[in-house]
Amino acid sequence: MWSRFLLVFYSVVCSLCLPAGRDRPIFTIYEIPEWIRYEGYVAERHHVTTHDGYILEMHRIPYGQHQTTSATRRPVVFMMHGLMVASNSYIALGSQRGVAYNFADAGFDVWLGNARGNTLSRRHVTLDPDDSEDKSQFFDFSFEEIGMYDVAQMIDYVLNYTGNEKLHYIGHSQGGTAFLVLASMKPEYNEKFTSVHLLAGVGYQEYFPNSALRTLATFTNVIYAAALGLGIVEVDSPLSFNRTTDDSADYSLPDICDDNAEQEFLCDLETITKLIRDDVIEEDIMGSMFGGAALKQIAHYGQNIRDKSFRRWNYGAIRNREIYGSTSPPIYNISLITANVTMHYTVNDNLLDERDVLAMANDMPNTVVRRVARDDFLHADFVAAFDAKDLVTDYIIESMLQLQDIEYIESEEDDSENIDDSTESEDITDPNKPDSSSIIVLSLMIKIYLSIYALWVIV
Ligand SMILES: *[C@@H]1O[C@H](CO)[C@@H](O)[C@H](O)[C@H]1NC(C)=O
Ligand SMILES: *[C@@H]1O[C@H](CO)[C@@H](O)[C@H](O)[C@H]1NC(C)=O
Ligand SMILES: *[C@@H]1O[C@H](CO)[C@@H](O)[C@H](O)[C@H]1NC(C)=O
Ligand SMILES: *[C@@H]1O[C@H](CO)[C@@H](O)[C@H](O)[C@H]1NC(C)=O
């Protein structure tokens, strides 16, 4: 049942993702550095192997479009993506509006992380995520491991590689959760942050805004156990996508909607998403754009929503006592987070309530909040909206520059060779016309929020 529903679901989401017409190359998720170079920047690919064997991919934009050398040491910005996306979310808006590019142009050395298990970090020194025996072990992680191991080790790698002592951290959604976990579980890491900006960073979920999902979260354990029983440990794997694009798997959506009232929800979903994008076409390249995640990441959020508590994974009373020494899981004690944090949030966020943001800021000693000055700004808009630069990014840049040596950054922009570059770059990007890759990634974000929703509803 699960897999059939998932197949249906994938055919829904695939049909909504792509607009027709493209005049520029499309870069898959595997080609992020190529895409960055296409936008006129230098790009590097780095790999970090965690202590528990996951091989993570990182991307680096060492300097901005109008700077010509990496010889000077620049202040580092490390950026961590949200749930079920990857480092491409920070470049999706193109060279003028993409957050990563904006930071690079402002004089920062930009590093983009990828969490274990996403399409780019879906590798391990001994475990094969596609092997039916290995996969349950490979995907046995949630955002806690991403924060405590992946983010910690990527940060160490970046600091060592660049010779910097500290960096600026940017985390969107789950990228914010990962920071909260790391800085509370390993408080020594607080020293490594010059500043931290969380964009709708999810932690406390006492007032989780979506009441339907809140009700469904009550069944988290049942859902998760059922999924494990069926061998489902991963969401949006490249393999599951391949299955649906296979010609022999004939699950076209209109047929199902005609025949089967059971799946009405999905048909409604299709109608809704068609309204969002009525210019959709199907395209199998989509398969390589998915971010992917472990089901346990979503289940862990589900537990926290259900329990109205930001705490560690709940194994059940008996195992909790073995592992944690208490029948209920310990909380993440965010009062131990001493780093200077700004929590950016929006009042119209469907996954994070203002009251929870304020409560977190109240419990963290050096934290301020900043409400986005557009009330209909959404959860994904931090990386997907065209006005994110004016409303959020410019503020962050200014605030980070104040903590750095601004003068040397500005003097570097004065390179004489750059006059040619800038005339050339003029026709490259109209900020209001994203290229095809951008549109795919932005469409994916819509898909991701729908799919989180669908994951709960389907089972
Ligand atoms: C730090 O970087 C140097 C070279 O840049 C490398 O030899 C060393 O192994 C790195 N250390 C760690 C802990 O990554
Ligand atoms: C998915 O299919 C494509 C093309 O058939 C193939 O190159 C790719 O390796 C497949 N991905 C996985 C994870 O099997
Ligand atoms: C959280 O940390 C603070 C500061 O060390 C401490 O006073 C408090 O008791 C801790 N709370 C819990 C629940 O562990
Ligand atoms: C936070 O910022 C204040 C002033 O802005 C500074 O004095 C303090 O050292 C900073 N704390 C950390 C942990 O960087």
Ligand 2 first shell, C-beta below 6 A: 238-239, 242, 287
Q: Which ligand is nearest the CA of 338, by number?
A: 4
Q: Which ligand is nearest the CA of 312, by number?
A: 3
Q: Which of 170, 58, 32, 31 is nearest to 113 (CA)?
A: 58
State the pLDDT at residue 440: 52
CA of 19 to the centre of ligand 4 (A): 46
Q: Average of pLDDT values for 420-428?
A: 35
What would the pLDDT profile of 196-240 be if each residue is shown by its tens digit? 999 999 999 999 987 777 777 888 888 788 778 777 788 766 654
Q: Which atom of ligand 3 is nearest to the CA of 331?
A: 13
Fill in the DSSP letter of residue 93.
T
Q: Which ligand is nearest the CA of 239, by number?
A: 2
Highest mean pLDDT among 22-26, 105-109, 215-219, 350-354: 105-109
What would the pLDDT profile of 369-397 be if each residue is shown by its tens digit? 999 998 888 888 888 788 889 999 999 99
CA of 340 to the centre of ligand 4 (A): 6
CA distance 369 to 342: 5
Residue 31 backbone phi and psi in degrees, to 5 = -115, 35
Q: Which of 346, 352, 356 is nearest to 378 (CA)?
A: 346
State the pLDDT at residue 448: 55
Of 173, 240, 438, 443, the active-site residue reads 173
Q: Which ligand is nearest the CA of 194, by number?
A: 4
CA of 162 to the centre of ligand 1 (A): 10
157-166, 289-298, 402-411: range with lowest mean pLDDT: 402-411
Pairing of strands 293-294, 367-371: unpaired
Using CA positions, which residue lies closest to atom 10 of ligand 4? Answer: 340
Ligand 3: which of 335, 362, 364, 366 to mutate, most ligand atoms within 8 Å of CB?
335
Fill in the DSSP letter of residue 57.
E
Active-site residue, 379 included: yes
Q: Supply the pTM of this predicted model.
A: 0.79
Using CA positions, which residue lies closest to atom 12 of ligand 2? Answer: 239
Collapsed DSSP state (helix, strand, coil) of residue 412? helix
Place of tokens 């969401």: 235
Task: Quote the crossing angle between the two packed helices 436-458 and 264-276, to the nearest 10°.
Answer: 160
- Please provide the average confidence, as pLDDT, over all residues in the chain: 77
Count CB atoms within 10 A of the CB of residue 394. Answer: 13
CA of 175 to the centre of ligand 4 (A): 22
CA distance 332 to 314: 13
pLDDT for 424 beyond 60:
no
**H and E: helices and strands count for the chain:** 22, 12
Choice between 432 and 92, residue whose per-residue pLDDT is larger: 92
- At 23, the pLDDT band (50, 70, 90 cuts) reads low
State the pLDDT at residue 332: 98
Residues 6+ apart with CB under 8 A from 429: 39, 94, 95, 96, 435
CA distance 224 to 229: 9
State the pLDDT at residue 53: 97
CA distance 437 to 289: 9
What one-letter code names the amino acid at 413?
Answer: E
Fill in the DSSP letter of residue 64.
-
State the pLDDT at residue 262: 39
CA distance 392 to 372: 7
State the pLDDT at residue 84: 79
96-100, 238-242, 308-312, 359-363: range with lowest mean pLDDT: 238-242
Q: For the chain, which domains are there?
A: 2-456 (3.40.50.1820)
State the pLDDT at residue 439: 53
- At 361, the pLDDT band (50, 70, 90 cuts) reads very high
CA distance 36 to 59: 10
State the pLDDT at residue 376: 84
Is 143:167 a contact under the CB 8 Å cutoff?
no
Angle CA(256)–CA(279)–CA(200) in degrees, nearest 5? 90
Ligand 2: which of 130, 240, 242 to mutate, most ligand atoms within 8 Å of CB?
242
Q: Which of 332, 292, 285 is nearest to 312 (CA)?
A: 332
Percent of the chain with pLDDT over 70: 70
Choice between 184 and 211, residue whose per-residue pLDDT is larger: 184
Q: Where are the alpha helices (DSSP H) in 93-207?
A: 94-97, 99-105, 135-138, 143-145, 152-162, 174-185
What one-letter code names the amino acid at 144?
Answer: E
Q: Average of pLDDT values for 334-346?
A: 97
Using CA positions, which residue lies closest to atom 12 of ligand 3? Answer: 333
What would the pLDDT profile of 268-319 be if each residue is shown by its tens digit? 444 433 333 333 333 333 434 557 788 899 889 989 999 999 999 999 999 9
- At 362, the pLDDT band (50, 70, 90 cuts) reads very high
Both tokens of 211, joined, read 């009441």
Active-site residue, 168 included: no
DSSP string, 333-394: -GGG--S-EEEEE-TT-SS--HHHHHHHHHHSTTEEEEE-S-TT--TTHHHH-TTHIIIIIH
CA of 158 to the centre of ligand 1 (A): 10
DSSP string, 209-260: S-HHHHHHHTTHHHHHHHHHHTT--EES-HHHHHHHHSTT----HHHHHHH-
Active-site residue, 140 included: no
Ligand 3 first shell, C-beta below 6 A: 331, 333, 335-336
What would the pLDDT profile of 67-86 be if each residue is shown by its tens digit? 776 667 899 999 999 887 88
**Backbone Cα Rg of the chain:** 21
State the pLDDT at residue 405: 62
pLDDT for 257 beyond 50:
no
pLDDT for 50 beyond 80:
yes
